[in-house]
Amino acid sequence: MDNSIVQFIEIDESAAGQRVDNFLVKILKGVPKSRIYRLLRKGEVRRNKGRVKASAKLEIGDILRLPPIRTSDSGEPESAGDWLLKTLDRSIIFEDNRLIIINKPAGIAVHGGSGVSIGVIEAFRQLRPEQKSLELIHRLDRDTSGCLMIAKKRSCLRSIQSMLARKEHLEKYYMAVVHGKWPGRKQHVDLPLLKNTLKSGERVSTVSSEGKSALTRVKVIDQSAEFSLLSLQPITGRTHQLRVHCQHTGYPIVGDEKYGFEARDAALRKSGFRRLMLHASKLVIPPLEPGDKSVRVEATPGDEFLKMVEQIK
């Protein structure tokens, strides 16, 4: 693609339903994400002659106008290293002709950006070059481990994202180790969350009456005097929902550098507990089409998480 001239792109079925920012990142090889978002903010990317937001969904027949984009990059996307490719290939816990589910290790970003050039989705596109439509269905924070869904087909992406948006049927469960002895009677956290983006690009959420509704179901699995092992089911899917709900309730997740107990976590790091103790442990996906079976997948936490659980027991 020649980025030095004005481009007009007509959206076909293969791109319909994608977010504008994700589509641009995919086609503008070698252009930094920060540059793409700046073009969108300034209105230099136009859809059907009008301004368009990064989060807008593309439709068949849309015409995108792209301005000339100068970049010092060679245009070649950066390659994932062998360690990352092998780690992610081994992490696959479910696969069929439409869907891949992996047990994402903590510390690996789901996509490039914010100082990370290669994430899960870029690495999988390198692993599976023959599959042209690989897309993340949802996201996990870099420091959260566990079940992560990748669509092989646009129809699968749209179906599952629609379930997530309507909060229908699809169930997600997490395991978390929190500071303190969570009260067993507190089985729901229902607090609205307001998302903010700092100048640095960092996303943060706070409990606010001006925010969107957010509901988490909570079950205590085990406890000690200092820690609780919880099962968390987010009924809504707000940014950092589980982390902020735990923090605001007074029992932040162990190892949470953004919303946690800084001094206590610093002491734990000296004992070898360095990660965020949040793990996406289970997914239940209803049939996508008539005649399909539901998909139930469980992901085993990594060694550091299991070691922390043993401390509680």
Domain ranges of the chain: 7-66, 82-155, 167-276
Q: Give the pLDDT mean for 154-170.
A: 87
Q: What pLDDT score was predicted for residue 75?
A: 47
- Average pLDDT for 73-96: 81
- Between residues 33 and 193, the one the model is more confident about: 193
Q: How confident is the model at residue 74 (pLDDT cuts 50, 70, 90)?
A: very low
CATH number, span 167-276: 3.30.2350.10
Q: Which of 141, 143, 256, 265 is catalytic?
A: 141
pLDDT score recorded for residue 105: 96
Q: What does the pLDDT read at residue 117?
A: 66
Phi, psi (rounded to 5 degrees) for 66 = -110, 130
Q: Count Cβ atoms within 10 A of the Cβ of residue 33 and give its class: 0-12 exposed, 13-18 middle, 19 or more buried.
A: middle
89, pLDDT greater than 60: yes
292 is catalytic: no
pLDDT at residue 51 greater than cutoff 60: yes
- β-pairing verdict for 278-285 and 92-95: unpaired
Q: Which of 22-31, 200-209, 235-244 is predicted most confidently?
A: 235-244
Ranking 60-74, 236-250, 251-265 by mean pLDDT, the lowest is 60-74
Tell whether domain 82-155 is in CATH 3.30.2350.10: yes
Residue-level pLDDT at 118: 82
What b/e string do you get for 104-140 counting C-beta neighbours within 10 Å, with b at 16 or more? Answer: bbbebbbbbbeeeebbbbbbbbbbeeeeeebbbbbbb
| 167-276 shares the fold of 7-66 | no
Structure tokens that stand for 32 in this block: 């930094």
Instruction: Report the share of the chain in percent with pLDDT over 90.
Output: 68
Please indicate, yes or no, whether the overall pTM of this predicted structure exceeds 0.85: no
- Radius of gyration of the CA atoms of the chain, in A: 21
Burial class of 25 by CB neighbour count within 10 A (0 to 12, 13 to 18, 19+): buried
The neighbour count for residue 102, using CB atoms within 10 Å, is 24
The three-state secondary structure class of 126 is helix
Q: Which of 70-74, 85-89, 134-138 has the lowest mean pLDDT?
A: 70-74
Spell out the alpha helix ranges (H) of the chain: 20-27, 33-41, 82-90, 120-127, 154-166, 241-249, 262-270, 303-312
What is the domain class of 7-66 according to CATH?
A: alpha beta
Report helix, strand or coil for 243. helix
The per-residue pLDDT for 70 is 64
